[in-house]
Structure 1
Amino acid sequence: MGHLITVATCNLNQWALDFEGNKLRIIESIKLAKSAGASLRVGPELEITGYGCLDHFLESDTYLHSWEMLADILQHEDCQDILLDIGMPVMHRNVRYNCRIICLNKKILMIRPKIWLANDGNYREMRHFSPWKGQRVIEDYVPPRMITRITGQSSIKIGDAVISTRDTVFGAETCEELFTPNSPHIEMSLDGVEIITNSSGSHHELRKLDRRINLIMEATQKCGGLYIYANQQGCDGDRLYYDGCAMISLNGKLLAQGTQFSLLDVEVVTATVDLEEIRNHRGAISRCLQATNTRQYQRIHVDTSLSADGTDVDLRVVPTKPVQPRYHTPEEEIALGPACWMWDYLRRSGAAGYFLPLSGGIDSCATATIVHSMCRLVVEAIEDGQMQVEVDCRKVVGEPADSDWKPKDAHELASRIFHTVYMGTSNSSEETRSRAKKYAEAIGAYHIDLNMDTVVTSIHSLFSLVTGKRPEYKVHGGSQTENLALQNIQARIRMVLSYLFAQLLPWVRNAKKQGGLLVLGSANVDEANRGYLTKYDCSSADLNPIGSISKTDLKRLIGWAETKFEMPILNEFLNATPTAELEPITQEYVQSDEIDMGFTYDELSVFGRLRKIDKCGPWSAFTKLLHEWADKMTPREIATKTKSFFYYYAINRHKLTVLTPAYHAENYSPDDNRFDLRPFLYPRFTWQISKIDAAVEKLESQGNVGGKARADHEDVD
């Protein structure tokens, strides 16, 4: 009975460079951990600064303010008598490190720098930090004088060591180190470290959570031990949404799991475990044989215990029972992740709400659905008694802080903060106009229906007056160049009108909240990869909630929301043909997105994944598709699709340099700014295309033109 310990981990909604706010949330998590009886509290990666400071980590101010916040935490009365694992950057010998600060009762026990840094995808840690010098390397660190005045320490151990208390041993690893092949927890566990903490800044991607949970479960199933995982949760100032899910796992079984999508600023997760279960689990002889040959970690001894003395046992405290992991469906992830991200952005930006050009198509419908989901989450959080959400809600709508106003439902909240406009022309259909209006009414948005033909005509007239030429649409005999120009000017006018209305609609409505609206874009990831958008059109916005989500997944979202939100109107969007409505409608012709692009949206998703995730150029994509699409296309048809995709990708890549900042949801996002670092002036892949053409000729000369198309990756030339 004297081996029971209660530990705490947390999800924190930190904000990059919000030093004081971050500090207060850390202190609140420590208070909650102590109130639950925890003797160890673990926080997220870089929680004092916020994870997403990016190049601000190159500034000395960031390190100074981090120490100032830690000094306040060390001295705070609510932060005593509990072992703390806190994340912040540290400069040692003029080298920057991403560190864990282990402290207890106004003393820093150890500084543990991150050894393996995240340096792919969205992460550039090696731009800002250096990896620690090596496993089990320990040095002396001289703390700032402000810390010495509090702790009395003139020197602190920094490096890869572990903490030894009177009853157990614990060690820290940080985020990426869980994902590396030779994770630190393996050798720590073989050296008798019973508790492993992992502090993360791990972002949300669709269908990704199972990988994280599986790694945590595997770590403790194979190695035994208690694994405590903390994470950031929320938008800390960038495209990423950190999706929480703080967890505690024991011997391969999950004991506790925090929320993945929540509006809480501070969420603490606790579990009580029996240390003897770790020792019994590790008793297998094969593990012991490896353990005897493991190099020992330096132990920093601390005269404290994490468990109660055997003579001072509370029989009401019992070990936590295992639970099953909780997962959301992809549809729920799309409805919840971007919605939480948007609420954080709105409440922290000071804007008066959101503005969306609502076209009557499925993309803008999906964006509006996510805003509706955000409103529902806010109302539910207020009903659950989350005071911070209630305070933020009053601030967003412009109600006085001391008022008792709160929205009675999502419809009322949307009427205050969500504004939509249908910007029609003579090329627009009554079906899209009607759908937009009905859906805006269904979710409570303030909606305007307008025609902008006079503006479009005036620009056409100006061009004709200056040049003496009058461009025509293709259906009226014009060239492709004329046709595209006439389409693009409509799209760009919508962007100009969007920002005009976004700035002035709160003024028009005499809204209580001063300031403009944030303009939302609604271009999906597949169209961005194909370049099927106009540069600086209404895809140019402040935020794009669906910018890295496929059309296929957006349809699933709408199908799910139709039932979940009880909105039959959404079925009309599902059954509508995607169309930009930028060309005249005739009896013989109605513009279709998929026909215009030359691809189905499902095909574009395949090319998007091949290009980014599978790292394929034109030749590799072609050879892979020869196998994957052999049952539905001939080699020549596959070659045509492949060449067409990479041609349009090459000539349109420049558009992605001005792509609206989008919620990051998929690993094949083409976001040029942070995630997808590729050129924007391309040659036309002439050598690659020549290889594809030669392969097709060879396959056709062999009589293999369909059914089972095959090509050897190396030998077909």
Structure 2
Amino acid sequence: MGWTVTVAVCTLNQWVMDFDGNLRRILQSIEEAKKCGAKFRSGPELEITGYNCEDHFYESDTRLHSWQVLATLLKSHVCNDIIVDVGMPVMHKNVTYNCRIAFLNSKILLIRPKMHLCDTFMYRESRWFSPWTKVRAVEDFFLPRMITEITGQSVVPIGDAVISTRETCIGFEICEELWHPDSNHIPMSLDGVEIISNASGSIFEVRKAHSIFERVKMATTKCGGCYMYNNLRGCDGGRMIFNGTSCITVNDKIVNHAKQFSLKEVEVTTATFDLEDIRTYRNLVRSRTHSAAKSQPYPRVKIDFCLSSSDRIVKSVTLDRAKFGEYNSVDNERDEMILGMKFLTPEEEISMAPACWMWDYLRRSCQGGFFLPLSGGVDSSSTACLVYSMCHMVVEAIDKGDKQVLADVQKIVGDYEYIPRDAKQLCNTLLVTCYMGTDNSSTETKLRAAELALQIGSYHHSIVIDVAISAILSIFQQVSNLTPKFKVHGGSPRENLALQNVQARMRMVISYLFAQLMLWVRGRPGGLLVLGSSNVDEALRGYFTKYDCSSADINPIGGISKDDLKKFLIYFREKYGISSLEKILDAPPTAELEPLQVGQLVQLDEIDMGMTYKELSTYGKLRKLECAGPFTMFCKLVRLWRDCPQKEIADKVKHFYRCYAINRHKMTILTPSCHIESYTPEDNRADHRPFLYNHTWKWQFDAIDRELQVNVSSDQHEMIDKKGKDTTKFRSIRLTSYSGKAEPEAIV
């Protein structure tokens, strides 16, 4: 006998503290779920308030408005005849919990608090919530009067319980509980829970999507059953963008899933399955049945409601592989086979994640577009291409009939009859780019910037800002009667640095002037958001001027490594046929702040920094992800860089940590960026560390020197070949990151 059940997971683009908009999107998702025949609708974590309310969770107003939204849902006819679970904060006995509230036909069934909180990297849930620690136990929760007036209930159960319908049983996990070693779905499945809903607020990081699907799939591979994974989408008001990818898994097979990236605010994903298939799957795993026979029972909330339909034949659910791009990486073939689906490449993820984040920020900030200082280098060109990618996604959504996206575009441009024809035309409307040249700028960078602007369609200007710089310097000269000089003209390092910084900071001032007035020039209302374009590696090293044009309203590439940006531009060039990117990729990175010599560049980023971008990326991952201090980093790099002499590795580590300490204060004022890489040094949310260090690191560096001395004899011994001949003098010449010149290494 078949018991066919249809369930729905929801991917919502919520906005923190936007109770009206969040309610509207929740109601829309419930309505769409019912149209698809679903009898159980689940949603993402904290969907009523938005996930990133942060210290707003301390406010009683936040809890009050959450109950008001829930009251509206309980009264709505849209919510009739379907089990709905939604997420919101709940205070019980003066303790605030992150909860799911399940209700049916204007009656609350269960309040289920989160039992394992997430405090890893970008998360710090225990700052606002406490975990529910009473396993398989419930207590009485006394409802607010506004809810009692609707439901007629004064008390409902709160705690670790499940819901029993006429034919099946529903359990709940909340985000981190899936990732925790002691996952709740295991004991629930042993106690006969056949449908488990997970409400998540999982953020995007590049190369992460496959791990989510792998965990969801493994939950039902071991336990059988239906696992419903709900996630948020887009930017809800902070530096994070949520990963989307809601999905439904039945007995180790992902039967349907939502898109990873989309401008669609509400996406409902449904699946229909047979409960008998779950029972057969579980019964065949005999070791599981023996464990289930002695499992401890969960408290059950029993309801007179049936999820299953009278249909005995389950209609097949076709997995829409077009929702994910081609996953060509050889390294990830294993994951593709495990999950049975294809994923976006990192380059595709980078092309879409910051674009979606920018779109949410633009449409919700009530600004008229973006202003970007376009230098013709990899970083600012990547930012420009991400705006172009955003425009492509907007036009595509409008072509597919997304009325909300069209309404947002019309509001942004101030024209309610405007319909964008193509991405290039929309980019011209939304993006103003400007090349700000000085006497130290090369003709090549100016031409590269202009060519890229032409190909993506941005409204572009090339200006010279020397007169503004001279005016600033003249003020100093009047006061001091001294004229600072560049190093090549006989100036000191202090003079040289000051002259570079005044150029960079003047670009920031001009950027904000143009951002405020360019739409006035074009006859449109409003202003522009200034875009920054410094990458995650430069932030880690502190290789930027404090309050220069890296200081902006938002920075789409602030969480992306230099290496990934280059790969992204290669992909973008091929996808959209933007030939100008080839010259940009071939050009060496340079700040162009020192004088040219015979019209040619002499200042290169990697020489200035004393390290390569690839080295920076490695330092960043070791420092953050592997929690390595100077000594541990040295030890790990000795194993990682086997062909590099240990003395050189020691010098590199010391140089990095000196620069890191000296420039750490810059992290406190970084322009908000879209979180992409897990090793971001962004101070506000991801990387809580001091910003004043003793830059000598004496104790740590002494430890490196002692380790180096211990290893000297063994290194020399390894360099004696089998014939007993000392081959150290025949070492190959390597390109060092300190001088940029080919020099023989010192013999240790």
Structure 1 and Structure 2 fold alike (TM over 0.5): yes
Q: Name the SS for the 2:271 alignment partner.
A: strand
Cα 1:337–1:322 change in 2 (3 A) is closer
Q: Equivalent pairs: percent with the same residue?
A: 55
Note the 1:295-694 alignment, pairs <5 A.
Answer: 295-308=296-309, 312-313=310-311, 317-320=314-317, 324-400=340-416, 403=417, 405-511=418-524, 514-587=525-598, 590-631=602-643, 633-684=644-695, 685-694=697-706
- Consecutive unaligned residues of structure 2, counting only runs of 5 or more, are 321-339, 721-727, 729-748
Residue type of the partner of 2:478?
L
Matched residues in 1 for 2:428 and 2:319: separation? 44
Deviation, 1:701, is: 4.2
Q: Tell me what 1:249 maps to.
A: 249
Q: Tell me what 2:238 maps to.
A: 238
Q: Name the SS for the 1:668 alignment partner.
A: coil
Q: Tell me what 2:326 maps to.
A: none
Deviation, 1:454, is: 0.8
Q: Name the SS for the 2:424 alignment partner.
A: helix
So what's the TM-score if we normalise by structure 1?
0.96
CA contact (8 A) 2:592 2:601 kept: no
Q: Name the SS for the 1:238 alignment partner.
A: coil
Matched residues in 2 for 1:224 and 1:454: separation? 71
Matched residues in 1 for 2:179 and 2:95: separation? 24
Superposed CA offset, 1:248-293 (max 9, x none) = 0011110001001000010000000011111111112200111122
Q: Tell me what 1:30 maps to.
A: 30
Matched residues in 2 for 1:83 and 1:701: separation? 72
CA contact (8 A) 1:253 1:322 kept: no
Matched residues in 2 for 1:479 and 1:616: separation? 36
Residue type of the partner of 1:652?
N
So what's the TM-score if we normalise by structure 2?
0.92
Q: Name the SS for the 2:52 alignment partner.
A: helix
Matched residues in 1 for 2:380 and 2:556: separation? 10
Matched residues in 1 for 2:45 and 2:670: separation? 29
Matched residues in 1 for 2:494 and 2:134: separation? 60
Superposed CA offset, 1:86-115 (max 9, x none) = 111111111101000011000000000000
Residue type of the partner of 1:444?
G
Residue type of the partner of 1:683?
N
Matched residues in 2 for 1:118 and 1:556: separation? 32
CA contact (8 A) 1:249 1:256 kept: yes
Matched residues in 1 for 2:702 and 2:207: separation? 37
Note the 1:29-108 alignment, pairs <5 A.
Answer: 29-108=29-108
Deviation, 1:703, is: 4.5
Superposed CA offset, 1:122-166 (max 9, x none) = 111111111113221210001111111111101000000000001
Matched residues in 1 for 2:655 and 2:135: separation? 50
CA contact (8 A) 1:84 1:103 kept: yes
- Consecutive unaligned residues of structure 1, counting only runs of 5 or more, are 710-717
Matched residues in 2 for 1:72 and 1:326: separation? 40
CA contact (8 A) 2:369 2:431 kept: yes
Residue type of the partner of 2:126?
M
Q: Tell me what 1:714 maps to.
A: none
Q: Name the SS for the 1:704 alignment partner.
A: helix
Deviation, 1:700, is: 2.6
Matched residues in 2 for 1:197 and 1:360: separation? 48
CA contact (8 A) 2:531 2:555 kept: yes
Q: Name the SS for the 1:269 alignment partner.
A: strand
CA contact (8 A) 2:622 2:633 kept: yes
Matched residues in 2 for 1:556 and 1:698: separation? 41
RMSD: 1.4
Residue type of the partner of 2:673?
A
Deviation, 1:705, is: 8.8
Residue type of the partner of 2:384?
A
Deviation, 1:702, is: 4.2
Cα 1:641–1:390 change in 2 (3 A) is same
How many residues align? The count is 699
CA contact (8 A) 1:362 1:555 kept: yes
Q: Tell me what 1:151 maps to.
A: 151
Matched residues in 2 for 1:207 and 1:81: separation? 40
Matched residues in 2 for 1:626 and 1:35: separation? 61
Q: Name the SS for the 1:52 alignment partner.
A: coil
Residue type of the partner of 2:82?
I
Superposed CA offset, 1:207-229 (max 9, x none) = 01111111101100001110001
CA contact (8 A) 1:635 1:706 kept: no
